[in-house]
Amino acid sequence: MPELPEVEAARRGIAEQLLGRVLVGYELTRPALLVSAPGLTLDALVGSRLECVERHGKYLFLTFEPAVLVIHLKLAGQLVARGSGIPGFAAGHPVPAYDAPLPHKSTHLRFDFGGDAHLFLTDIRHFARVWLLPHDDLPAFRESLHLGPDVLDPAFTVETLRQGLARRTVGRLKPTLLDQSLVAGLGNIYVDESLWQAKLHPERTAASLTDAEIERLYEGIHTTMELALPTGGARILNSKAQTEVGKFPFVHGREGLPCPRCGTAIIKTRVNNRGTYLCPHCQPAP
DNA sequence: AACTACTCCTGGAGGC
DNA sequence: TGCCTCCAGGAGTAGT
């Protein structure tokens, strides 16, 4: 569920509030969360400064002098920072609630950044992963992820998208856009929103798209990101509870409600075994 | 090559 | 209230 906007919210929170601070301790309560390179433990990071925080797609890279931490929140991970010396932030899956007491029973990792500043990784479904790698291992690790350009990277252009789609002539749009090697950062929710923006049915094939439709798809992806980024994804993750009909998100979780563009009832279907929402009028089936 | 099905896991929603 | 079933979904893998 945490997709690019949610992970980007975490990156910004960490960059603004924890960058430059020294890690003074940690508590790992679910060891299976962490995959460490041989001979390396989190102890290696204690006493060193958080030097850099980057994001590529849904992966976060936290650079310390001795080693690098890589975090993927998968379906239900959340990162929450709290402490009297920082404003705090919350990003990712909204369960437990962002203001719930921490640690929660599903808090698997806590980092201590001095004073009482803490970063909590909580994951009710135990899918999230953290990797601890020596710097030298990072290039090979990143290569193994097979990530395409990040959605927000200027290297991701209409031309990039066109070329990526050209290599997948048979595949349907939805699974193609979910493939992180084409473009990194989109997940089930934002693919639905992007395709609605672009007025394209998720089961259209890449090969069937005209140049104009590819441009619409590219614009649709970016429009969706521009709507989601300022909310840190919180709005879409809580869409059923918090968002009015006709406001973003437009289709996700809105089965039976009117399409904000044409009024036709949004339908829910399954594509690639994923729950998929679309407007049958705006997004005609192939 | 590209699809489907399955796996990891558990909270929350809905039915009765 | 409580038990049951179903559903949610990122990404890897096995099978077709």
Q: Enter the DSSP assignment of A28.
A: E
Footprint of strand B on the protein (CB under 7 A): A 75, 95-96, 105-106, 124-127, 167-172, 175-176, 272-273
A106 CB-to-strand C distance under 7 Å:
no
Which of A66, A110, A274, A280 is the catalytic position? Answer: A274
Looking across all nucleic acid strands, the nucleotide with the smallest C1' to CA distance from residue A32 is B8
Residues 127-146 of A with CB under 7 A from strand C: 127, 145-146
To the nearest 5 percent, what fractions of chain A are helix, strand and coil?
Answer: 30, 25, 45
Spot the catalytic one: A55, A58, A199, A204.
Answer: A58
For the segment 165-204 of chain A, residues whose CB is within 7 A of strand C: 178, 180, 187-189
Structure tokens at A116: 């009482």
Identify the residue whose tokens are 């992970």: A7
Strands (E), chain A: 25-28, 34-36, 50-56, 59-64, 68-72, 77-82, 89-92, 107-112, 118-123, 129-133, 267-271, 274-278
CA distance A153 to A119: 27
H/E segment holding residue A84: none
| 3-state DSSP of A223-258 | HHHHHHHHHCCHHHHCHHHHCCCCCCCCCCCCCCCE
In 3D space, the residue among A192, A279, A195, A200 whose CA is nearest the CA of residue A236 turns out to be: A192
pLDDT in tens, A2-59: 899 999 999 999 999 999 999 999 999 999 999 999 999 999 999 999 999 999 999 9
The token duo for A232 is 């840190």
Q: Is the pLDDT of residue A237 over 70?
A: no
Cα angle at A61 between A163 and A41, to 5 degrees? 135
> Distance between CA A273 and CA A264 in Å, rounded?
24
pTM: 0.94
In one-letter notation, the amino acid at residue A91 is A
- pLDDT tens digits for A191-207? 999 999 999 999 998 88
Confidence of residue A280 (pLDDT cuts 50, 70, 90): very high
- Tell me what the mean pLDDT of segment A223-246 comes to: 69
Please check whether strand C approaches the CB of A240 to within 7 Å.
no
Please determine, for residue A238, whether its predicted confidence score (pLDDT) is greater than 60: no
Cα–Cα dist A4/A228, whole Å: 9
Q: What is the pLDDT of residues A111-169, one digit of tens each?
A: 999 999 999 999 998 999 999 999 999 999 998 898 999 999 999 999 999 988 888 87
Rounded to whole angstroms, the maximal C-alpha distance in chain A is 59
Q: Rounded to an integer, what distance in angstroms lies between the CA atom of residue A67 and that of residue A173?
A: 38
Q: Which two tokens stand for residue A10?
A: 């975490």
Cα separation, A111 vs A253, whole angstroms: 34
DSSP A125-146: TS--EEEEE-GGGHHHHHHHTT
Cα end-to-end distance, chain A, whole Å: 28
Are A144 and A218 in contact by the 8 Å Cβ rule? The answer is: no
The answer to whether the C-beta of A92 is closer than 7 A to strand C is no
